[in-house]
Amino acid sequence: MAISRRRFLKFSAGTAAALGVNVFDNPLLKKAFAEAVKETPVIWLATGACSGCSVSLLNALSPRIQDVLLDQVVPGHHMELAFHQTIMAASGDLAMEAMYETEKKPFLLVVEGSVIEGDPRMCEVGESHGHGIPGSAHLERLGRKAQAVIAVGSCAAYGGIPKANMNPSGSIGVGDFFAEKGIATPVINLPGCAIHPDWFVATLATYMLAGPEAIELDEHGRPKMFFSKLIHDNCPLRGHFDAGRFAQKWGEPYCLYKLGCKGPVTRANCPEKKFNAGTNWCLDNRHPCIGCVQPESPYEDSMFGTVPIQAATPPAAYPPIVTEHRQEVDFSPTYGALAGVAVGAAGVNMLKKRSAEAKQDIDDKE
């Protein structure tokens, strides 16, 4: 059986470790091992963003963000965060030079924030000849060159909060922007406000191991490994939903559907992962799910309006989700006839009962 170069290096390292030999004393082996680690340069471009997804990623616990940046995300693969205007030490021309140098080689593009088309001055990154460069111009140029794009957060994926009713900034998601510009680079959407850090790290690891084609996406461009289960199916308040117990005001310990919970239409593994190092999430705080990973977020009518139940129906033995306390009486001929039959039947039963009682009295007298 043929042995690959990588397997040979791995075997050599293991053998040397077993013998207590420091392989890095040998400059040739040291160089070989360095070449065996594949670098994946990443350009993180923040456009119409609040930096919330960056903050969430910096709070990654397992692995920690320093491990993601300094160590190998997966064996033999290392991520080089070449550009991130929020957290990088460089600034000005030096920072922009890092971006320009990185795009000369194969790289992965990460986009945080919506793409602003209404007024490009709302988001400028760097300068050229004394004028700001719109973030959308960088995205169009980098998007054509990147091997793949990860749209981090609901704003980058679908437009998010900036795209809400009125949309003065003309914000759209990366996928829609690429469709306008005819850019065919694959886009992986990781919506959320903000994202869970594990979603990004796991997506990055899968990409490094087998490329973007290894990540199975749903109809909204999201990895199915995170966005396939309904929040509703894993909600700690599901029992109250099935029993027809709904909170009517904040603070009541029942199902929050009537207060605007989007759990019945939202697909994400938030109940399993939770946030803040796995300690909490929206429903544990007794706040309705706002459906932040859905393309419809933040919902045009109201974030606290109810949504149609599609994939979940409470048992018929329990009260309905929405109860009408006032009902009109139907006086149509059909219902009138049925009512007459019912009254007539009741009258017949009454006469039979009285006849039986009268007969019993006669028998008693005799």
pLDDT, position 95: 95
- The one catalytic residue among 53, 123, 138, 240: 53
Taking only the tens place, the pLDDT of each residue in 64-105 is 888 888 888 888 888 999 999 999 999 999 999 999 999 999
Cα 270 off chain centre by: 8
pLDDT, position 191: 98
Asked if 222 and 191 touch (Cβ cutoff 8 Å), the reply is yes
pLDDT, position 255: 96
Question: What is the Cα–Cα distance from 348 to 354, expressed in whole angstroms?
Answer: 10
123 is catalytic: no
pLDDT, position 19: 44
CA-closest candidate to residue 192, choices 41, 56, 363:
56
Give CA separation, 3 vs 7, 11, 172, 245, in Å: 6, 10, 49, 63
- The one catalytic residue among 78, 193, 220, 325: 193
Residue located via tokens 């109201």: 302
What is the model's pTM? Answer: 0.76
Domains of the chain and any CATH numbers: 33-214 (3.40.50.700), 229-322 (4.10.480.10)
- The one catalytic residue among 84, 123, 155, 240: 155
Residue type, 316: A
- The parts of the chain modelled with pLDDT lower than 50 are 16-24, 315-317, 331
Question: Is the previous residue joined to 194 through a cis bond, with omega within 30 degrees of 0?
Answer: yes
Return the CA Rg of the chain: 31
Cα 169 off chain centre by: 23
280: which residues sit within 8 A by CB, 6+ positions away?
Answer: 274
pLDDT, position 317: 47
Question: What is the Cα–Cα distance from 33 to 22, expressed in whole angstroms?
Answer: 13
- The one catalytic residue among 77, 232, 240, 287: 232
pLDDT, position 223: 98
pLDDT, position 161: 93
CA-closest candidate to residue 32, choices 8, 16, 14, 15:
8
Q: What element of type H or E holds 83? A: strand 77-84
pLDDT, position 20: 44
Say if residue 113 is exposed, middle or buried (CB neighbours under 10 Å; 0-12, 13-18, 19+): buried
pLDDT, position 15: 54
Taking only the tens place, the pLDDT of each residue in 295-305 is 999 887 777 88
Q: What element of type H or E holds 127? A: strand 124-128
